[in-house]
């Protein structure tokens, strides 16, 4: 084989899908290229499916993490609201108790005129 023959053979092998063999089997070459393209296409499809599965898993994990964080935050907020409500109720009860004690200590002689005044105001309000 001469240098020129080797060069021709190398060119022929490197561009195998572009230049038909000297024996003229074009159909075999086309089918081989088609199989190669099909295999590459299937490999790309498989890679895309794997990427999609991996990405879906990551998204699902992120969603679950965020949901857990939201539940924890909601529980904290609920507890804080309960404590604030409890504190406010305790304050109201203490004020009411203090006021009741103050009223209890009033002498009847001082209390009767105040009660009469309020009863008259209530009666007038209903009459109008």
Which comes out higher in pLDDT, residue 64 or 7?
64
Task: Give the model's pLDDT for residue 66.
Answer: 96
Q: Which domain holds residue 102?
A: 3-127
Report the chain's mean pLDDT, rounded to a whole number.
Answer: 84
Q: What is the share, in percent, of the chain residues with pLDDT greater than 70? A: 79
| Domain total in the chain | 1
Statement: residue 116 has pLDDT above 70 = yes
pLDDT in tens, 12-47: 555 555 554 555 588 899 999 999 999 999 999 999
For the chain, the three-class secondary structure string (H helix, E strand, C coil) is CCHHHHHHHHHHHHCCCCCCCCCCCHHHHHHHHHHHHHHHHHHHHHHHHHHHHHHHHHHHHHHHHHHHHHHHHHHHHHHHHHHHHHHHHHHHHHHHHHHHHHHHHCCHHHHHHHHHHHHHHHHHHHHC
């Amino acid at each position: 084989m001469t240098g020129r023959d080797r060069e021709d053979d190398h060119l022929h092998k490197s561009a195998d899908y572009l230049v038909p063999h000297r024996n003229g089997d074009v159909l075999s070459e086309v089918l081989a290229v088609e199989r190669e393209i099909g295999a590459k296409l299937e490999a790309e499809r498989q890679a895309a499916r794997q990427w999609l599965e991996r990405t879906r898993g990551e998204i699902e994990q992120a969603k679950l993490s965020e949901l857990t964080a939201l539940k924890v935050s909601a529980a904290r907020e609920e507890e804080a609201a309960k404590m604030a409500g409890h504190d406010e109720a305790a304050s109201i009860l203490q004020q009411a108790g203090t006021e009741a004690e103050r009223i209890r200590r009033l002498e009847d002689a001082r209390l009767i005129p105040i009660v009469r005044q309020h009863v008259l105001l209530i009666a007038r309000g209903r009459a109008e």
